[in-house]
Structure 1
Amino acid sequence: MKKYYHAKGRRKTSVALIYVNVKKNKINKFIINNKDINIYFKNNYIIKYNILYPLILTKLINKFNNIRINVKGGGFTGQSEAIILAISRVICKINNKYKNILKQYNLLTRDSRRVERKKYGRKKSRKKFQFSKR
């Protein structure tokens, strides 16, 4: 069995790289960009719960000793969803039997939606300038 597992998750312009230590006799830590999860996402409990959701579903919440995540780009929502995908992929790498559970809740699906680019001659991507008759 490996000591470290890693995976990558993406959403919008956010990219999350996750490294999981499965050695025993270590303190449980959940670190995002060298900060504790409670400091990085401050008082946003919904985002914290969503990030831990794949671990809660698979009942692995206290099994991993050290989860280290590097995330860049985008805002909090994009970053959190990239982290969720990365965690789900790592869980599947560690044990493939959890794949069906995570797939059932769409946690292994990469959401490819992005912001549409602004087009020439328009205000935004689809919005047009106001038309005046006179």
Structure 2
Amino acid sequence: MYSDSTFVAAPPVVHLGTGRRKSSRAQVRLVPGTGQLIINGKPGMVYLNYNPAYLSAVQAPLDLLGMEQQYDTIVTTQGGGLTGQAEAIKLGVARALCQIDPSNRTPLKIEGHLTRNSLCKERKKYGLKKARKAPQFSKR
């Protein structure tokens, strides 16, 4: 029989999601909480340079389901720029929400939050200056 002094509470349930965009990767953890956003150890607004477009993109899946005040979002992201990282975080949050409840998948899929944007930079080809830009042509 366990005594009350040795009983240890179970850790909070954590839901994981991974998002990618261009060369950015984001590992998202959703923890029951008050709606805080922490990216690489900084508050979300500070990390995203107070840009409302990036913040709304990150929060879009939670806003769609009305869960913005129910979960804390803890993100580790690397690579790319802020736009790619924000889109990667959005995909990671949407995937984590699908783990919470499979019925969340349908509205997230309809709004396009579960679709990975596969566009990335085209590689440079030999004989060209960039991926498609050719050197200036001279007839004479």
TM-score (norm 1): 0.92
1:76 aligned residue: 82
* Runs ≥4 residues deviating over 6 A: none
Residue 8 in structure 1 maps to residue 26 in structure 2: no
- Aligned CA-pair RMSD: 1.2
2:135 aligned residue: 129
Give the SS at the match of 2:29.
Answer: strand
Question: What letter is aligned with 1:84?
Answer: K
Give the SS at the match of 1:8.
Answer: strand
Residue 67 of structure 1 and its aligned partner are, at CA, apart by 1.6
2:69 aligned residue: 62
2:31 aligned residue: 21
Residue 43 of structure 1 and its aligned partner are, at CA, apart by 2.2
1:33 aligned residue: 40
CA distance in 2, matches of 1:40, 1:56: 20
Give the SS at the match of 1:7.
Answer: strand
In structure 2, list runs of 5 or more residues that go unmatched: 1-11
CA distance in 1, matches of 2:61, 2:45: 18
CA distance in 2, matches of 1:32, 1:99: 24
In structure 1, list runs of 5 or more residues that go unmatched: none
Residue 36 of structure 1 and its aligned partner are, at CA, apart by 0.1
Question: What letter is aligned with 1:10?
Answer: R
Question: What letter is aligned with 2:24?
Answer: S
Q: Larger radius of gyration, structure 1 or 2?
A: 2
1:103–1:28 distance in 2 versus 1, CA, 3 Å: closer
CA distance in 1, matches of 2:49, 2:91: 21
Give per-residue Cα distances to partners, 1:75-127, cap 9 Å, x unaligned: 11100000000000000000111111000011101111110000111000111
Maintained 8 Å contact 2:39/2:77: yes
Identity across aligned pairs (percent)?
A: 38
CA distance in 2, matches of 1:21, 1:84: 16
